[in-house]
Amino acid sequence: MLKKRKCESDSSIRNTEKNNTTEQQRKKRDVGRTLLRSEQVHKSNHFMINDGSVHQNTSLSKEPGVRYADWMGDSLIQTLTENSSSTIRQLHGNKLCVWIIGHSYIHRARKRAALKRQGVQLGFSPKNISLRWFGVPGMRWSGVFSTVNKNATLGRNPDVLVLHAGGNDMGLVPLKELIENMKHDINKIKIMFPKLVIVWSDMVPRLTWKYGRDYRSLEKSRIKINRVLSKFVYSLGGLAVRHRVLEERLPKYYIHDGVHLSDSALDLFLNSISAGIEDALSLIG
């Protein structure tokens, strides 16, 4: 009898040890799954925020081309949104870089901004945002990509790129060819910087076009370029800046040549550019 009880006791101890071992293994598997899920969410966090799919500016929800993570639950979206600032700091350090490239409008806009209270930083803190201007009087569209390519090797690559160019090609380059060239170059830039947010700044109407005689035809071409390029940039995760007030083409918005903007018009132009940059930054985090 004693021997039987001893055997039963030994069997009970072995079963208990076996159960404890099984429980420990189960816990380890659960912990492993938890860590794996955590790692997957962490990776998704970094990808989605950089890709512009999750952002804090809900005012952009009506804009076409702004992508959202529709497949994700509300709790995960909230988590990614709350962590966006820290994620951006991890990816970019403490400063984001914005480039503004264009012809004389950009050149003159920078000079005008330097005289204003906001300065050439357009009110953005230099501690957080590095704003670089590349305004070249007389720049044709072909100069856009070369400017990007040249400066990409000289320092901090851009997180946001504002483009205001193409007006000096009007009347010189056939409309279809110009649009194809613009889309081709913008696509090349996007390939160079996959996470870049591109901002298309609409061509502003002019009272006269230097290289064209048919004003009405050139205005139609300008409107078409703005429509096509805006849609194209949206498809790449970017956005467009409308200069709606300047569409009125009032004489007071231009200097004597009917091409370049007056000081008051430059102020309106700068306000739109600044708002566009702010919206673009919100797509990053």
Per-10-residue mean pLDDT of the chain, 285 residues long, equals 48 52 48 34 29 32 31 30 37 79 98 96 96 97 96 86 98 97 98 97 96 92 98 98 96 97 98 98 87
106 close to 259: Cβ distance less than 8 angstroms:
no
Q: Which domain holds residue 112?
A: 90-284
Measured CA to CA, the distance from residue 162 to residue 238 in angstroms comes to 10
CA distance 74 to 80: 10
Q: Does residue 214 lie in a domain region? A: yes
Inside any domain, residue 268: yes
What pLDDT, on the 0 to 100 scale, is given for residue 161? 99
| Residues contacting 124, CB < 8 A, separation 6+ | 98, 131, 277
pLDDT for res 166: 97
Backbone angles phi, psi at 14, to 5 degrees: -65, -40
The count of structural domains within the chain is 1
Is 262 domain-assigned?
A: yes
Q: Is residue 145 part of a domain?
A: yes
Is the distance from CB of 81 to CB of 115 less than 8 angstroms? no
Q: What is the CATH number of the domain that holds 94?
A: 3.40.50.1110
Overall pTM > 0.75: no
Indicate the SS3 state at residue 130.
Answer: strand
In a domain? residue 97: yes
Q: What is the pLDDT of residue 212?
A: 82
Question: Residue 4's CB: how many other CB atoms inside 10 A?
Answer: 8
Q: 197, 160 in Cβ contact below 8 A?
A: yes
Length of the chain: 285
Please report how many Cα atoms fall inside a 13 Å half-sphere around the Cα of residue 2, on the Cβ side: 0
- Order of strands, sheet of 197-201, starting from the edge strand that comes earlier in the sequence: 129-135, 96-102, 160-164, 197-201, 239-241
The pLDDT, as a whole number, for residue 175 is: 97
In a domain, 239, yes or no: yes
Q: Cα separation of 79 and 50, whole Å? A: 15
